[in-house]
């Protein structure tokens, strides 16, 4: 069984074939870019056609832009498969593939902080639950977009004289080629969420330097993630005997060991008795997608995975090894 794993976010879309350790990456896609389904399908097709990967029997996609309704899910799967020509295409939110990779298909809580925040709870018994996330308009507290936005807002307020002085002003000017007309440029950008998210590492680095405004933003981000972990552990433990320790895996580029936000989060978690065993993720969302495909059954994620089965089409030239 040959598997193509796809991890699709707003910053990047990555592909890996089960026959190789090589990862192919193309530009990510946000929900602001026209017909998201067609744009995502085109991006995945672009990655596949340039990959040189061999044939695929099953494609497993974990996407931050995965649609919720079955008709759109099936449409996306079929659009992707017009190029790849697999027998099956599986589609899920990236919280599913993140969990599968982070906990090696085991039960517990997975929290991944990238541009946004993905949290999935899989209890020992019972159905999985997606917590937090909710996208850049309604949530994703503690993610890179949220941190970058708060940092940029603070910089603009300081530059206007409406907020306290902060070195975020100079950092924002460097990152965005000056502050003049920045609001117009950001609102007119093709991928504003991604652009703002790239300011998050600057905010966290400035927080580490002692800047009071940036420090407050970093602390608030770690606090939001602590609240999320606390809630997720409570949900995960409901079907388990009293005293059960809940596995919690932290992943994503913001929560790697030793990273500024991870250090702050670890500091806050050390003061709480959550009944959780907190560790770094075993693997990535791409690892999780591949593991799911190899297993051949969505298992505990069944209610969250859309499976499209059809006869294999003839793949376009360039997608052969």
Portions of the chain given CATH number 3.30.420.40: 3-99+284-309, 105-280
The DSSP bridge pattern shows strands 12-17 and 129-131 to be: unpaired
105-280: CATH, from 3.40.50.10070, 3.40.50.300, 3.30.420.40, 3.40.30.10: 3.30.420.40
How much is the average pLDDT of 42-52?
A: 84
Record the pTM: 0.85
How much is the average pLDDT of 176-205?
A: 91
Q: What is the pLDDT of residue 35?
A: 62
Q: What is the pLDDT of residue 134?
A: 75
Token readout for 268 is: 């806050």
CB 90, CB 307: distance < 8 Å: yes
| pLDDT tens-digit map of 105-147 | 999 999 999 888 989 999 988 889 888 767 777 878 999 999 9
Block residue for tokens 């192919």: 24
| pLDDT tens-digit map of 183-196 | 999 988 878 888 99
Q: What is the pLDDT of residue 31?
A: 58
Whether residue 159 is predicted with pLDDT greater than 80 in this model: the reply is yes
Closest CA to 301 of 107, 30, 70: 107
Q: What is the pLDDT of residue 319?
A: 46
301 — pLDDT class (breaks 50, 70, 90): very high
Whether residue 218 is predicted with pLDDT greater than 70 in this model: the reply is yes
Q: How far apart are CA 292 and CA 257, in angstroms?
A: 25
Q: In what order do the strands lie in the sheet with 23-27?
A: 23-27, 12-17, 3-8, 58-63, 88-93, 306-309
Whether residue 7 is predicted with pLDDT greater than 80 in this model: the reply is yes
Task: Indicate the CATH number for domain 3-99+284-309.
Answer: 3.30.420.40
Q: What is the pLDDT of residue 1?
A: 84
Q: What is the pLDDT of residue 244?
A: 87
How much is the average pLDDT of 212-238?
A: 94
Beta bridge partners of 255: none
């Amino acid at each position: 069984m040959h598997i193509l794993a796809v991890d699709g976010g707003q910053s990047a879309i990555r592909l890996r074939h089960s026959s190789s350790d090589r990862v192919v990456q193309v530009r990510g896609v946000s929900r602001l870019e026209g017909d998201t389904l067609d744009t995502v399908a085109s991006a995945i097709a672009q990655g596949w056609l340039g990959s040189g990967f061999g044939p695929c029997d099953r494609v497993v996609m974990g996407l931050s832009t995965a649609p919720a309704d079955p008709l759109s899910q099936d449409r996306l799967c079929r659009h992707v498969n017009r190029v790849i020509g697999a027998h099956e295409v599986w589609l899920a939110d990236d919280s599913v593939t993140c969990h599968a990779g982070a906990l090696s298909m085991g039960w517990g809580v997975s929290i991944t902080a990238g541009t946004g925040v993905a949290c999935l709870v899989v209890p020992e018994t019972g159905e999985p639950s997606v917590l937090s996330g909710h996208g850049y308009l309604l949530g994703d507290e503690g993610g890179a977009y949220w941190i970058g936005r708060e940092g940029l807002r603070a910089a603009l307020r300081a530059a206007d004289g409406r907020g306290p002085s902060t070195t975020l002003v100079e950092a924002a000017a460097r990152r965005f080629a000056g502050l003049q007309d920045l609001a117009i440029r950001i609102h007119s950008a093709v991928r504003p969420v991604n652009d703002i998210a790239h300011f998050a590492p600057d905010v966290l680095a400035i927080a580490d330097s002692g800047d009071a405004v940036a420090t407050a933003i970093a602390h608030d981000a770690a606090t939001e993630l602590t609240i999320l972990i606390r809630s997720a552990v409570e949900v995960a433990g409901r079907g388990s005997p009293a005293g059960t320790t809940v596995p919690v895996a932290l992943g994503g580029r913001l929560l790697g060991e030793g990273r500024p936000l991870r250090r702050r989060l670890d500091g806050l978690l050390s003061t709480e008795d959550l009944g959780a065993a907190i560790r770094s993720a075993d693997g990535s969302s791409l690892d999780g997608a591949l593991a799911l495909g190899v297993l051949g059954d969505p298992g505990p994620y069944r209610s969250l995975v859309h499976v499209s089965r059809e006869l294999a089409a003839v793949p376009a030239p360039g997608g052969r090894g």
